[in-house]
Structure 1
């Protein structure tokens, strides 16, 4: 009898030592929405599971195992498992990947001839001609001079400062000259700076104007790329985040964007 009890104790200890421990939780986007069909991988065991329609998941893991979370259109995330993770859910937030270029449909088949294929991506001739005409018009000086109100010299008050140096204007000119030589020119944003600028817009600006029109996160991302390409938002405002100026440029870009893009409901 004692032998059987001893064997049973050893069996229970062995089963306990090899018992599988599980990690569970929920996968969400950076805006809090559940992400279904996200892939969760245990890099040590190779076990894979997918989150359900509500973003919930459960996967076997031991302490120090690495879980990798992957979802199409989102940045990949990895987490090291510790004993703390067994006491509650391990919830993961995935950041949406920003688009590098605006999504377009190409109406031509690549021929393999680089010069020929590159020309197919050029803007339409009408657009090029219109931009050229507008640029030329803006650079042309006005033909007619604007009328000026001039007081006859007989009625003009006597200028007691004639021949004297205006110190206020001189100092102002000197300050302007120094600021021009010391200020650094506006540089083009690199990829990392551009993505950080997009994330700051979505985090700090009130985008209810767009979401109230039924725009999704993808719609807003595509529009930000369009507005950035049209008005150089990241180049002008990534270092000096002027909310009023950014919203103004975005509103102008919106008026042009809705003419050629179908978004929202």
Structure 2
């Protein structure tokens, strides 16, 4: 009796397995690179499997089922199963998801003396006063007649180059035109160039001022995106990485960034808002 029951059980299991239909496929990036460890889900059965190291996968499905493919940092792929999917592989191409940072309220944390921290971004008072006075002097018209030093014509040496072209001036003009023609215009940075520019700032520049404010890496990333959009840092400096100029423009962006954030009400924050 027992052998008969075992035989019937085996026949039932085999008929169940062979009645299942499978979908075979491969997951890759939009550039054609294989994508392992992608999650493939049948939404009807809630079956979940992972693609292998070559991006291949196999999952049970029926006609009309919804298949979803998920991978961290990539866009989600959705496919309704049709009869065609059982006769040939389902090739899935995942596109890279854009890098987005959710906007949150930023509680500014300084070293304890916010008034002192803000002043560290400003030029010394003597330098500001000197620049202001020099600018006013350069803009003011001259009130004295400047004497001209000239040699009387009777004592002047004969000009042997009269009527001839000045070769030095001509060469300088040609060199200037050549430099303008060969100089590459500024172009907008693409996604990869922008991310590489952010990475270079964080690995080569001194960001101790921002970490002293209590900022973690995520908050610094938000500030870099703000400074880049405001001053077009990646567009101007991704090819000629001028550390001094980038640092100066980041400090100007810092003062504006604090004004535009919803800073939690505190005595230090109120002093900063009033002085800004």
Say whether the fold is shared (TM-score over 0.5): no
Relative to the length of structure 1, the TM-score reads: 0.44
**Structure with greater Cα Rg:** 2
TM-score of the superposed pair, with normalisation by structure 2: 0.42
